Amino acid sequence: MIVRVFDKTSRNSIDFDDFIQVCVMLHTLTDKFREKDENRTGTIQLHYEQVGLCEAAACDIYAMLLMN
């Protein structure tokens, strides 16, 4: 999935710069998950409204990375 989203040339591969963007996005999303996983169990519970906020945050991160 990562290659499909970040493959700008349709070569079924990603450039190094795009790989770095993926790493930054994954790190950011992991940090956001850890904020919610207060007991460090690897699971979180979200209310319906919070899911929308998480999706919006992920979209914002993705859009920010694509602009660079």
pLDDT tens digits, 38-54? 899 988 777 777 766 66
Question: What's 32's domain CATH number?
Answer: 1.10.238.10
**Number of C-beta neighbours around residue 20 at 10 A:** 13
Cα first-last separation, the chain: 20
**pLDDT at residue 41, as a whole number:** 92
**pLDDT at residue 13, as a whole number:** 87
Tally the domains of the chain. 1
**Number of C-beta neighbours around residue 29 at 10 A:** 15
Q: Which amino acid is at 8?
A: K
* 48 vs 10 pLDDT, higher one: 10
Mean pLDDT over the full length of the chain: 76
Domain that holds residue 58: 2-67
Report the alpha-carbon distance of residue 10 to residue 14 in Å, rounded: 9
